[in-house]
């Protein structure tokens, strides 16, 4: 289901829904260029101060996850590596690398859409953001915001990728195998 702001009468520009829809917009950019569609925004005082989408293929960099790029950009906007008072919105649960980076950068909150029980590090598989014994920073976590949309864009991306692969196989014909 599309989140339609045009027909929405009372848009709460401070709400998790609003900022997650901004993160989804970033995920859409990733989708358009053939990247796994994950997007992130970082918000402080009700303002988006950083936005990024997954660019692993574009940059040929396995660390170029949306969260990593958004954190770097937010630190530039802050003029500091301490992102106190900030909230990170991301369409999919952060992986261990990103969760580790989040702990270092110390935003107050992390909000995500799709849970990742196989590799998520914000409660899905493990929880580095609220570990026990704790790391040097703990984040508040809100999960499942616009979950259907966040899962949906990933599912359609991978479905399309599978179909494309199957088509290529058909075009080459069985004699080549």
Establish if 128 lies at the interface with Zn ion (CB under 5 A). Answer: no
Which residues, 8 to 67, sit near Zn ion by CB under 5 A? 65
Work out whether strand 109-114 and strand 47-53 pair parallel, antiparallel, or are unpaired. Answer: unpaired
Helix (H, G, I), strand (E, B) or coil at 142: strand
**Cβ contacts of residue 118 below 8 Å, gap of 6+?**
124, 125
Among 98, 105, 121, 145, binds Zn ion (CB under 5 A): 98
Six-digit token pair at 89?
Answer: 């919105």
Pick the catalytic residue from 26, 35, 67, 93.
67
Tell me, residue by residue from 57 to 96, as one string, x for binding to Zn ion by CB under 5 A and - for no binding. --------x-----------------------------x-
**Residue 26 annotated as catalytic:** no
Nearer to Zn ion, 18 or 23 (CB): 23
Nearer to Zn ion, 18 or 51 (CB): 51
Nearer to Zn ion, 50 or 98 (CB): 98
Three-state SS annotation for 77-107: HHCCCCCCCCEEEEEECCCHHHHHHHHHHCC
Phi-psi group of 79: left, alpha or beta (phi > 0 → left; psi -120 to 50 → alpha; rest → beta): left
User: Would you name the residues annotated as active-site residues?
Assistant: 67
Residues forming contacts to Zn ion in the complex (CB under 5 A) are 65, 95, 97-98
């Amino acid at each position: 289901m599309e989140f339609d702001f045009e027909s929405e009468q009372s848009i709460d520009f401070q709400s998790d829904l609003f900022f997650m829809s901004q993160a989804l917009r970033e995920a859409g950019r990733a989708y358009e260029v053939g990247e796994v569609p994950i997007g992130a925004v970082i918000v402080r005082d009700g303002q988006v101060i950083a936005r990024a989408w997954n660019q692993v293929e574009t940059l040929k960099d396995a660390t170029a996850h949306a969260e990593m790029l958004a954190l770097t950009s937010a630190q530039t906007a802050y003029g500091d590596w301490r992102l106190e008072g900030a909230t990170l919105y991301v369409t999919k649960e952060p992986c261990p690398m990103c969760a580790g980076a989040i702990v270092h950068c110390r935003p107050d909150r992390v909000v995500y859409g799709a849970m990742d029980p196989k590799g998520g590090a914000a409660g899905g598989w493990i929880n580095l953001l609220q570990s026990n014994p704790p790391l040097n920073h703990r984040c508040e976590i809100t999960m499942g915001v616009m979950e259907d949309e966040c899962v949906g864009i990933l599912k359609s991306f991978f479905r399309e990728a599978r179909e494309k692969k199957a088509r290529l196989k058909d075009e080459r014909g069985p004699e080549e195998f």
